[in-house]
Chain A
């Protein structure tokens, strides 16, 4: 597997999905096991990737480069660099754990796991595709299983949520598609002179045609790409699909949605928009920082008002992704490294939160915050886990979220002083909604209604413990992840900010 490690990672889950599709639907345990194996292999491969990744090099690594559709110069071009590495690791880890978080799914298990594994293929593909067309294909491939996962296995309003998610994302994709075609037609392959989807060629401004160098055109292309990605992040005001999708999606799907899918938006901006249109990135940075600040505060305030735990966590994602935007806009080392680290950390932390919400929902069949109270006495171990996740979310030092938020602020302060000062209010409001929820669910007198709730079980702990350890380790020693990304990102800053 050494040579084609990225392809194996990407397509192994697909093989798993195919196998599952052939199994009789009655053999539930077999289906689960196959799914677990299909997700475990990429996880092991990601460890191999982590070991062998050359941290001193900013170049693309583990490259697989073949012609795919010759007449349109479409290539099968897969590789990773410091930007995609953390995302690959995150995807591999969360997908694997989510298989176990889905253990209790009853309704057509076969379809569920097949869809889930197909989704995993799409996610890996997005993070390592370097041909724009290929990227787009994976981007759309992801959409379909997600639609079904929400629409079939979701809550009461699942159809509304699924359609909303699907159409919203598709609307963004259309803009991205237009931009992609514009690039395709206006970027020349330096060797053959023909059109190309190769992103590396697109990064090189010398390959851009005269039309593509017109400022107005570049503004429009930037905006088209930005809106496409912004919907995914989601950036205010394109965020309302998120709470609906989260509330309706089953736990594991929420975890993937918030943990991985949202990152594709910011990943796309950093992977595609920044290097292809560096001057526009500079032009847009104040707007980006402002949107970041709005996301942080608006998301936090909205979270505070929620009555449903899952919705609260969903809005907290809006808020936390705002930090990513702010850090990206800063265009300096601390800011951008902080932003990518925050993408990773938010993935792990929010995953813990969704898993924790899932635990109580499975038992009590409600997520209404005010329905609980005093659960700390009833479920002490669960209380510890959830508190851990919540304190990580509010940026407690010693846990990973703090490091990335601190780096983002350190980067953003010299770049945008006022915006940073206002954004920093997020640390107060963030603490407020988190602690308020903690109080209403776990503290205070116990609600007798929940006298029979059993504490968290071994399987649930198995999904939480690895993430928890990671959150703690990266809070104390963040360098293992920063080492992966820093060379690539520092190069990116040189490209964009000069």
Chain B
């Protein structure tokens, strides 16, 4: 396939589900079968296109090969522009396959599962929109459009989780999902703003180049990284924002399969893996711990839940924790590998659970049992997926999970942070236990609800075919990881960003006391790329693999020296090309020291990595065996009574059953505070602000009244008063004028008398 053909195919993959959405949304009701065939057909075509791209990249076999095309979306003259663009590389090719495959199968499955629903055509429309949004995330070549599609995924999940919105629980669950995601998006958006402000671009590879060049560093880089990661915490449902995912079970089961396998939760992990070079060492440490804690606590919750979908939901959370842990350990490749394998078996588990629910009309495992004979296809496919997720060697889950645990242990050994590994390996023991608990409670033993059992039957072909297809994918997606890294199929695809080279260089520039730790850490992270046996891409490059021992600190050079020519005519920024020389020939003394130390430490640490990996593998085989055995002993042989354990540990059971009370905690704090604060604001607005306004009005009226009264009684009073006085005076004086001579004579005489008296006396 030519580059142009790849781009064309990618654009068609993006637009097909959008077309499906539009057609089904507006015309579905009028079409035969309410237009469900549109979605299935168009997704089928998209899948074929994805397969073509996948094969093309298989043939190219170079994880650094990429095809990119941008166009100007927004342009305000010299100082501000934003591009939209498509990026296809190995990682994209894999994700396209995953998303299209799962989405296609979910579409197919839904024709059976949703049959007869009142808003059947809407469901297919929303599925199309969901797929479109997710594909947008996968195909975007810059952070802005990543964010755009990221939010659209949020909308899609809102629409689908709330599909049965007449149920009050669904109506809360979708709001919760959207809002919890928005909290994460707040950080994500600020992270994007920080990178854009510092680097002036949002194109991935230009950003990597800028970060390499030191455009953003120090605490800002750390915080910006944490900000980006917050997006992942929301979308990929990591602690403490994981609370929406269990509630998202309110959506129809095919939606759960889609959310848990290929879309939405995968987005967060994909984003961090894609942007791995933007995460500094501090941010990665946060990522590591968040992932580890999530993996552990959600696995413990899964132990006690009885709703089959809920157990699966918590298992998803736990597996996402692994992926995030892998990202935090500086091993995005294994994280993506786990994402891929998990997508297959988790979609299978959900669709299998859906098949069971469809058959018995219940989600409660205590009402199931003995369904193995009645639903053979469901049973066998479910069993395959369970084995895969449990980490049974030979199946995909084992390799991917093990790769992550190896990297996490290596970080632990180098830096002394053993807690993530301990949490991870404990969760690895719990996983097979609760997964086989589902298998035993659902498919084995005696039916606990005879009525429901009698009505159960194997699902129709529309539902069975997706199950078989996914089981097949689960079996083969392990591929042939082989003994040596360069045989793993995944290594042909996962773009091996060199996180280590970037963080080492970044730290080298800081100089001083941090230097030693930094280079040490960088080397450890390098080891993760260079040495892990299974599915590791860096080693796939002959030279790099050969150079392991002494050059562990500079694998970037080898890698990108190759990557550069491969980029050919594409206008991508030579991000890693710059990184590597800078690393190989540091400009300052500190840098040299770092490199030298890094080389030494790298030699040591690649050894550590190797050891760590073997140890992790052995341990995970042991814990998987233990977990399965314990589950078999408890739930099949019934030698242990879980109820007795519950009775013995009431507090622990309560905490687990209550999901560590995160929801209650938020309800008591954040929700309550927000509501209270909104009431305060509204009351303040009504009483104080509007009070002042109305008060001013009232005061004005009061002043007007007073002045009115003044006017009436004082001003006008004075006027009238003068008149009254004059009138009164007139009245008085009038009396004098009697008109009689006698009176006047008296006046004159009296006056003369008075005058005489005055003259005499004075």
Give the B-binding residues of A (Cβ under 8 A): 164, 167-168, 236-237, 239-241, 298, 301-302, 304-306, 332-334, 337, 374, 376-377, 391, 396-398, 402-403, 406-407, 409-410, 413-414, 420-421, 424-425, 427-429, 431-433, 435-436, 438-439, 442-446, 478-479, 482, 486-487, 490
Contact = CB atoms under 8 A, between A and B. Distances in A.
A304 B680 CA distance: 11
A478 B681 CA distance: 35
Contacts of A240: 685, 689-690, 693
B642 interface: no
B190 A424 contact: yes
User: Chain A interface mostly helix, strand, loop or mixed?
Assistant: helix
B697 interface: yes
Contacts of B63: none
A168 B693 CA distance: 9
Nearest to A171: B696
A436 B193 CA distance: 28
A439 B170 CA distance: 10
**Chain B CB within 10 Å, residue with most, of A305, A398, A442:** A305
Contacts of B175: 435-436, 438-439
25 contacts: A164-B697, A236-B689, A237-B689, A237-B692, A298-B681, A298-B685, A302-B685, A304-B674, A304-B678, A305-B678, A332-B79, A337-B80, A376-B166, A413-B196, A420-B193, A424-B189, A427-B189, A428-B186, A429-B674, A432-B182, A432-B674, A478-B74, A486-B77, A487-B77, A490-B77
B76 A431 contact: no
A396 B151 contact: yes
Given A304-B678, A397-B148, A490-B76, A374 B166 contact: yes
Please report whether the interface of chain B is mostly helix, strand, loop or mixed according to DSSP. helix
Contacts of A304: 674-675, 678, 682
Contacts of B162: 443
B727 interface: no
Interface string B151-180: 110010010001001111011100100110
Contacts of B713: none
Given A439-B175, A478-B74, 11 more contacts: A167-B697, A241-B693, A298-B681, A410-B197, A413-B196, A420-B190, A435-B175, A444-B167, A479-B73, A482-B74, A482-B76
B168 A444 contact: yes
B171 A444 contact: yes
B681 A427 contact: no
Contacts of B170: 443
Nearest to B151: A397
Contacts of A439: 171-172, 175
A427 B147 contact: no
A479 B75 contact: yes
A337 B155 contact: no
Given A333-B80, A444-B166, A421 B697 contact: no
Nearest to A376: B165
Nearest to A306: B682
A171 B162 CA distance: 48
Contact of A421 (B167, B190, B685): B190
B186 A301 contact: no
Interface centre among A337, A396, A410 (most CB of B within 10 A): A410
B693 A431 contact: no
A301 B678 contact: yes
Contacts of B186: 424-425, 427-428
B185 A305 contact: no
Nearest to B149: A397
B69 to A, nearest CB: 18
A333 B152 CA distance: 27
A403 B674 CA distance: 27
Nearest to A435: B175
In order of increasing CB-CB distance, the 3 nearest A-B pairs are A443-B171, A305-B682, A397-B148
B468 interface: no
A360 B175 CA distance: 22
A301 B197 contact: no
B718 interface: no
B182 A428 contact: yes
Contacts of A446: 166
A481 B678 CA distance: 35
Interface string B659-684: 00000000000000011011101110
A446 B168 CA distance: 10
A430 to B, nearest CB: 9
A444 B167 CA distance: 5
Contacts of B172: 439
A427 B693 contact: no
B189 A164 contact: no
Given A301-B682, A428-B179, A414 B693 contact: no
A488 to B, nearest CB: 11
B392 interface: no
Contacts of B194: 413
B626 interface: no
Contacts of A428: 179, 182-183, 186
B198 to A, nearest CB: 9
Interface string B692-715: 110001000000000000000000
Contacts of A432: 179, 182, 674
A486 B76 contact: yes
Specify which of B165, B185, B196 lies most central, judged by the most chain A CB atoms within 10 Å of its CB: B165
A435 B178 contact: yes
Contacts of B76: 333-334, 337, 482, 486, 490
A177 to B, nearest CB: 19
A317 to B, nearest CB: 14
Given A240-B685, A446-B166, A333 B179 contact: no
Contact of A305 (B144, B165, B179, B681): B681
A301 B686 CA distance: 13
B190 A164 contact: no
Contacts of A406: 144
A268 B232 CA distance: 42
Interface string B456-486: 0000000000000000000000000000000
Nearest to A440: B171
A334 B202 CA distance: 15
Contact of A435 (B147, B179, B689): B179
Contacts of A490: 76-77, 79
Contacts of A298: 681, 685
B689 A431 contact: no
B197 A413 contact: yes
B34 to A, nearest CB: 15
A306 B167 CA distance: 24
Contacts of B179: 428, 431-432, 435
Interface string B192-209: 011011000000000000
Contacts of A301: 677-678, 681-682
Contact of B182 (A420, A431, A443): A431
A247 to B, nearest CB: 13
Interface string B122-157: 000000000000000000000010011101100100
Interface string B733-747: 000000000000000
A443 to B, nearest CB: 3
B147 A397 contact: yes
Contacts of A413: 190, 193-194, 196-197
Contacts of B151: 396-397, 402
Nearest to A433: B678
B523 to A, nearest CB: 34
A333 B77 contact: yes
A361 B151 CA distance: 31
Contacts of A486: 76-77
Contact of B693 (A164, A332, A429): A164
Contacts of B697: 164, 167
Contacts of B675: 304-305
Contacts of B678: 301-302, 304-305, 433
Nearest to A425: B186
Nearest to A337: B76
